[in-house]
Amino acid sequence: MISIRNVSHSIDHHPILHDVSLDIPRGGITALIGPNGAGKSTLLSLVARLAALTTGEISVDTLQIGKCKDRDLAKVLAIMPQSTQVSSRLTIRDLVGFGRYPWHQGHPGPEDREKVEETLTRFGLEPLAHRFLDEVSGGQKQRAFAAMAYAQSTPYLLLDEPLNNLDIAASRSLMRLLRDMAEEDGKTILIVLHDINYAAAFADRLVVMKEGRIAADGKPEKVVSAKLLYDVFGTDAPVCMMDERPVVLV
């Protein structure tokens, strides 16, 4: 379980998060939605110890963020950050292979190689495996980084807007892949999404953030409504139900 307790965070004395508490039990997909600047990425980077936690407590299973070793957390939690601007010329296979680093510490064994090949297949990256990162499209690169996080084989997976740059087919197949991981492998996935329809269709739970606070939390069909869109995003898009699932008409 990821347990976030009374976390507040400021950057340069600007308060970004206000007393956020959230529990994410094992298993399932939790989607984090909210307007730009709501603090979603900040919350994710705090959980992944990429920003220093100053107020409040976060733990992942038995590991206490801020106290546990980076190496130990790297075997439990993987994160794919929002922007993956990278100038390194690595092949996609090498990049995915580096996702195994916490396990092999630089000496990949047969099981690491197997995992890399399985990941490449699962993410449809095999035909691109030998290509350098600066020789593939933005969406393909995005998929490669998602694959790298997956190859890390952690029970917890944090993804910050992984559908950026992805076309509809790639978006749906990535979300379906995540569902498989949640259902078959029992992974716990926390994902930031902007497209509420994707969130409602694939997530078990929606957490809505606004101005550094949690504005709503619950099953998609309970949370998504025209009123929420108006209150949180300030836009009046109609919401209708299809197959017992809320759909935002844009």
Partner 1 sequence: MRRLTLLLGLALVAVLALLSLFIGAIPLDPRTLFSDPEAARLILISRLPRTLAAILSGGALAVTGQVMQILARNRFIEPVTAGAGQSAALGILLVTLFLPGAPIWAKMAIASLTTLVGSIGLLALIRPLPPTQPLLVPLVALVYGGIIGAVVTFVAYQGDMTQFIGTWLSGELSGVLRGRYEMLWIAGLAAAATWIIADRITLLGLGASTARSLGVNVARITALGVAAISVVTAMTVVTVGAIPFIGLVIPNLTARLLGDNLRRTLPVSALFGAALVLAADILGRVIRMPFEVPVSATVGVVGAALFLYLLYREPRHAA
Ligand X SMILES: Nc1ncnc2c1ncn2[C@@H]1O[C@H](COP(=O)(O)OP(=O)(O)OP(=O)(O)O)[C@@H](O)[C@H]1O
Q: What is the binding site for ligand X (CB under 6 A)? A: 11-12, 16, 34, 36-42, 82
Our CB check for partner 1 shows the closer of 36 and 85 to be: 85
- Distance of closest approach, residue 19 Cβ to partner 1, in angstroms: 25
Site string for partner 1, 108-147 (x = CB under 8 A): ------------------------x-x-------------
Rounded distance, CA 250 to CA 241, Å?
14
Strands 55-60 and 63-64: antiparallel
Rounded distance, CA 168 to CA 156, Å?
25
Our CB check for partner 1 shows the closer of 135 and 231 to be: 135
Which residue stretch of 40-48, 52-60, 163-171, 216-224 sits at the interface with Mg ion (rule: CB under 5 A)? Answer: 40-48
Our CB check for Mg ion shows the closer of 62 and 85 to be: 85
Site string for partner 1, 143-182 (x = CB under 8 A): ---------x------------------------------
Q: Which amino acid would we find at residue 119?
A: T
The item of Mg ion, ligand X, partner 1, none sharing an interface with residue 13, based on CB under 5 to 8 Å by kind, is: none
End-to-end Cα separation, the chain, in angstroms? 35
- Distance of closest approach, residue 154 Cβ to partner 1, in angstroms: 10
The item of ligand X, Mg ion, partner 1, none sharing an interface with residue 49, based on CB under 5 to 8 Å by kind, is: partner 1
By CB under 5 A, name the one of 20, 30, 39, 41 that touches Mg ion.
41
* Residues 26-85 contacting partner 1, CB under 8 A: 45, 48-50, 69-75, 78-79, 81, 85
Which residues lie near Mg ion (CB under 5 A)?
41, 82
Which residues lie near partner 1 (CB under 8 A)?
45, 48-50, 69-75, 78-79, 81, 85-91, 94-95, 98-99, 101-102, 106, 132, 134, 152
